[in-house]
Amino acid sequence: MVHFPDILPGIRRRVYPMPTVPADATPSLPVVATFAPLGGESLRMRLDPRHYSQRSILACLQCGELYEAETSLLLKRVLRPGDGVLDIGAHVGWFTLFSALLVGSRGTVMAFEPHPGNFSHLQENILLNGFAHVHPFNLALADRPGEAEMFENLDNDGGHALWDVGDHDFNRRSRATPTRFSVELSTLDKVMAANGFMPLRLVKMDVEGAESAIVRGGLETPVRCGYPLLVMEINRFALGRMGSSEEELRANLAGLGYRPWIILPDGRLRALEEGAYLDPGHVFNLAFACPDRMEGEWIG
C-alpha cells in the first residue's frame, strides 16, 4: 500500500474505534442544537449524546467545527443550488441536512436509512428545518430487492450492518447481546427508476461494507443520472465481512469510468494513482469521479 504521510492526518474520517468523547462533556439527554455551518442560515439537529455517533456530531458542533470536516468541505465545493443528492446511510441526517442547505429548495436530497430509530431521528431533523425538498426512505439498498436482517450495533449508533457487528473487537456490547431487526431491501436502480432517474450531482455512501452490493444494484444510475461524484466510506473490515474488498469496489467503479480521489483537508481532491492504496490505519472516505467530469476548483 502507498502511504501519503503529508496528507493522511487531514483525511481522517473516524478511527474505529473513535476517540471517546467524555460523557460529562455533553448533556445526558437529547438536545436540539442550532448552528450555522455556512455562517448564514442556521440548521437544527436533535442529537442524543447517549448514542456514540450522535455524541461525536454534537461535540463537533459545540466546538464550532464541521463534522467530518474534509468531507463536509468537499460538499460545500461541489454542491450548487438546484442540484440532486443521494445520502445513502444517512444516520440521523448531518450530511442530509448540510446537503439540503447547499442545494436549496430548488434542489433534491434523497436520504436512505434502514435503522428504525435513526430513521425516526432523521425524519424529525428534516421537519425541524422545514426541508420539503428532502425525501427520506426507510430501507437498505443492496444488489437485489427483498428483505434481510440487520445487526444492531449497541456500541455505535452509526454502525448497524448486514453482518454480525459483534465480530469487531470494539463492539463488546453488541457481541454480548446480539440483536437483529428486519429491513426492506431495494436496489439503487429500482428506486431511481421510480423517481425518473433525476440528474444527480453527488452520491454519498456510508453503509458499513455494503458499498459493493449497492454499486452492483445501481449500474444504470451513474449513466442515466449524469455520472455524479461519489463519496464512499472505505471500511476494509466491513467490506470483508460482506464478502467484498476495496479492490473489488474500485474495480467495479472503474468499469463505470470512475477513478479514486483523496479528499484533502480543505475539501479539494487529489488523484490516487492506479494500484495505489492508502494505509491510514482507520476508516476513511474516498471520492470517485470520472476524469472528464472533474471541475478545476475541486482539484488540489
φ/ψ region of 82 (left if φ > 0, alpha if ψ in -120 to 50, else beta) reads left
CA neighbours closer than 13 Å in the CB half-sphere of residue 295: 10
Reduce the DSSP state of residue 212 to 3 states and report it.
helix
Q: Is residue 28 part of a domain?
A: no
CATH number at residue 131: 3.40.50.150
Domain count, the chain: 1
Q: Is residue 151 part of a domain?
A: yes
Structural domain includes residue 258: yes
User: 89-123, pLDDT tens digit by residue?
Assistant: 999 999 999 999 999 999 999 999 999 999 999 99
CA dihedral 15, 19, 20, 22 (to 10 degrees): -150
Give the tens place of pLDDT for each residue, 25-84.
Answer: 555 689 999 999 988 889 999 999 999 999 999 999 999 999 999 999 999 999 999 999
Q: Is residue 54 part of a domain?
A: no
The pTM score is: 0.92
**CB of 257 closer than 8 Å to CB of 251:** no
Residue 36 lies in a domain: no
Q: Three-state SS for 35?
A: strand
